[in-house]
Amino acid sequence: MSLFARGFTRQNIVAIAVGAVLACVPLVVFNFWLSGVAERIGQEEIDLSARNAIVRAEHRLALVIETLDALAAGGVGTCDAEERSAMQRAVFATAPIKDISLLDRDGRSICPRADDAAADDAIRRIYSSESLATPQGYALDVLTAGNGRRMIRLRRPAAGGGHEIAALVPTTLLLPQYEVDLFDAHAARAFGGPGDRHGQGLYARLETRNRAMLAEVGQRREETIGDLFIGKSHSDRFGLRVEMIAPRSLMAHGQWGIWWLGLLVTGAVVMALGLFAAFLSFRQPHNPVADIERALAAGEFVPYYQPIVDIATGQLRGAEVLVRWKKPDGSLVLPGAFIPLAESSGLIRAMTYDLMRRVSDEVGPAIGQRLGLKVSFNFAGKLFADDAIVQDVFAIFAKSAIKMSQVVLEVTERDPIENFAVTRQIISSLQGLGVRIAIDDVGTGHSGLSYMLKLGVDIIKIDKMFIDSIGTDRNSTTIVETLVDLAHNMRMDVIAEGVENFEQVMHLREIGIRAAQGYVFAPPLPGSAFLKLVEAMDALGEGAAQERDAAAAA
């Protein structure tokens, strides 16, 4: 399993999920704020467009006023050829003006034109008339010309005072057309297509103070107000109002940058979160219990075998099984690093059972053919608290080539026994199956002799600490001698642990110990090496003969 995957324990995933949710809150707030900014920009943009349209209209009408003032000041007040041509020149010179004429008191033109456009410019209907506050003397009419076009007519007294001089301005010239083009171009870009000029464009409407329509550009949208940006502006001076309406989608171009920013920030946060999660899963100390659980399921706990030797004859007596954690990278972890956790987490039961099955598979046939050999398993004190163990051990070895009589269970003296009566009962049930019980680490634990005497075990294993001091420390030597005597009197076997040199072997022989294990003979060996040792030290013929002898003796 990869390092990465190993980081994704259930706890990590929950932590990452909580982190993601917590990180999402500021993200949502940020995006909410951003959409507020986008909204404001859209609204500001449409307000500005409406304001611009009004300023432009005012500017054009001011030009007209300037022209009419100049004509009046120049003495234009009759239909003289010269004055007519002055008016004509003014029409050409002032862009928005379509026609300039002199009007009598009834508003009729006093200088009828004979050109082709005269009929077009004739007044068909006047909708409204009002006088302007500034400059004084001016009036503004809204009317329809002969060609059906809406016009604004600005008029003032002409020179001489008898008539009025008036200029016609098509209202469409007061409403900027190019704004619409501009918006359509943006729309086209925003939607990646040519843009539907009337479907998606801006709608603009110019009207008088009393809401009479002057000019219109685009088509009024049917969307509800929420989908539209609406901008309004008005000219106090000329009594004009403009209303501009744009669908939100059209204004999107203005917010594009912001949406990109939102997207970018969201993406960056999500990516940072992902990297952080990955970083955590690499860095965070793993849940060690979950690690053991996973390794157990993956079969990473394997048995090693330390030979136990008869130091009187040199023959192999069997082996103690010592667990090793074989990591996927090939490294071996010693039991001291994980057994305490396996015990406290309760995984020790499954681990021990798994180990027994593996031993049974690996060396079962070789051991089963040699009844003189015993296989010894370390059993945590905890396992003796539940009598299910008796049934379980039976189930495992009933199917195995290893006979019950070849199984030894070691219980360490280091662990205090919580319920002595139950433990005693379980031990005797196991002995009933033919299994033998050993007390491990004798001399180091809480109990001293009392366990030995009361538990009714079959073997005592004297701890390395005592073996090391035999021959050098008189007290230790005496204690070991006493233990050995006592054990023999109680028909218990004695095994010396951690024997590292031949001097120690000599001492052990002297005090009557027959069995020993330790580096002097062999370290814990992997299954394949142990099997070779079994073959080498106890060729099957000899073992089979022993078996016959043992059967005959019984």
Binding site for ligand C2E (CB under 6 A): 306, 322-323, 334-336, 339, 348, 352, 355, 378, 380, 412, 440-441, 464, 497-500, 517-519, 524
Between CA 125 and CA 144 the distance in angstroms is 5
What SS3 string covers 495-547?
A: EECCCCCHHHHHHHHHCCCCEECCCCCCCCEEHHHHHHHHHHHCCHHHHHHHH
Between CA 96 and CA 13 the distance in angstroms is 72
Nearer to ligand C2E, 241 or 436 (CB): 436
Which secondary structure element, helix H or strand E, spans residue 293, and what is its range?
A: helix 288-297
CA angle 82, 88, 89 (to 5 degrees): 90
Residue 16 beta carbon to ligand C2E: minimum distance, rounded to whole angstroms: 35
Choose one: 19-27, 121-129, 306-314, 370-378; the region binding Ca ion (CB under 5 A): 370-378
- Encoded amino acid at 159, one letter: A
Q: Kindly state the number of chain residues that form the binding site for Ca ion, as judged by CB under 5 A.
A: 5
Nearer to ligand C2E, 428 or 501 (CB): 501
Token pair listed for 288? 């060690």
Pairing outcome for strands 240-247 and 228-235: antiparallel
Pairing outcome for strands 301-310 and 316-326: antiparallel
Selected from 99, 440, 458, 538, the binder of Ca ion by CB under 5 A is 440
Residue 499 beta carbon to ligand C2E: minimum distance, rounded to whole angstroms: 6
Nearer to ligand C2E, 1 or 298 (CB): 298
Choose one: 77-85, 128-136, 407-415, 520-528; the region binding Ca ion (CB under 5 A): 407-415
Using CB under 5 A as the binding rule, whether residue 243 contacts Ca ion is answered as: no
Using CB under 5 A as the binding rule, whether residue 352 contacts Ca ion is answered as: no
Using CB under 5 A as the binding rule, whether residue 458 contacts Ca ion is answered as: no
Selected from 378, 447, 504, 517, the binder of Ca ion by CB under 5 A is 378
Residue 283 beta carbon to ligand C2E: minimum distance, rounded to whole angstroms: 29
Choose one: 98-106, 139-147, 218-226, 377-385; the region binding Ca ion (CB under 5 A): 377-385
Select the binding partner of residue 151 from ligand C2E, Ca ion, none (C-beta < 5 to 8 A, by kind): none
Radius of gyration of the chain from its Cα atoms, rounded to whole angstroms: 54
Using CB under 5 A as the binding rule, whether residue 415 contacts Ca ion is answered as: no
Select the binding partner of residue 355 from ligand C2E, Ca ion, none (C-beta < 5 to 8 A, by kind): ligand C2E
Residue 541 beta carbon to ligand C2E: minimum distance, rounded to whole angstroms: 30
**Cα–Cα distances in angstroms (integers) from residue 248 to residues 14, 91, 178, 228, in the given order:** 40, 41, 19, 5
Q: What is the CA 522 to chain-centroid distance, rounded?
A: 52
Using CB under 5 A as the binding rule, whether residue 441 contacts Ca ion is answered as: yes
Between CA 245 and CA 174 the distance in angstroms is 17
Pairing outcome for strands 203-208 and 240-247: antiparallel
Nearer to ligand C2E, 372 or 524 (CB): 524
Select the binding partner of residue 323 from ligand C2E, Ca ion, none (C-beta < 5 to 8 A, by kind): ligand C2E
Choose one: 50-58, 134-142, 408-416, 500-508; the region binding Ca ion (CB under 5 A): 408-416
β-bridge partners, 462: 442, 496
β-bridge partners, 204: 217, 244
Using CB under 5 A as the binding rule, whether residue 9 contacts Ca ion is answered as: no
Residue 410 beta carbon to Ca ion: minimum distance, rounded to whole angstroms: 4
Nearer to ligand C2E, 37 or 337 (CB): 337
Residue 308 beta carbon to ligand C2E: minimum distance, rounded to whole angstroms: 10
Nearer to Ca ion, 369 or 476 (CB): 476
Token pair listed for 356? 């027994």
Residue 553 beta carbon to Ca ion: minimum distance, rounded to whole angstroms: 29
Select the binding partner of residue 335 from Ca ion, ligand C2E, none (C-beta < 5 to 8 A, by kind): ligand C2E
**Cβ–Cβ under 8 Å, residues 21 and 286:** no
Which secondary structure element, helix H or strand E, spans residue 126, and what is its range?
A: strand 123-131
Phi and psi dihedrals of 51, rounded to 5? -60, -45
Using CB under 5 A as the binding rule, whether residue 413 contacts Ca ion is answered as: no
Between CA 319 and CA 326 the distance in angstroms is 20
Q: What is the number of other CB atoms lying within 10 angstroms of the CB of residue 516?
A: 26
Which secondary structure element, helix H or strand E, spans residue 276, and what is its range?
A: helix 248-283
**Cα–Cα distances in angstroms (integers) from residue 169 to residues 46, 56, 134, in the given order:** 26, 14, 18
Residue 346 beta carbon to ligand C2E: minimum distance, rounded to whole angstroms: 13
Nearer to ligand C2E, 363 or 380 (CB): 380
Using CB under 5 A as the binding rule, whether residue 410 contacts Ca ion is answered as: yes
- Interface residues with Ca ion (CB under 5 A) are 378, 410, 440-441, 497
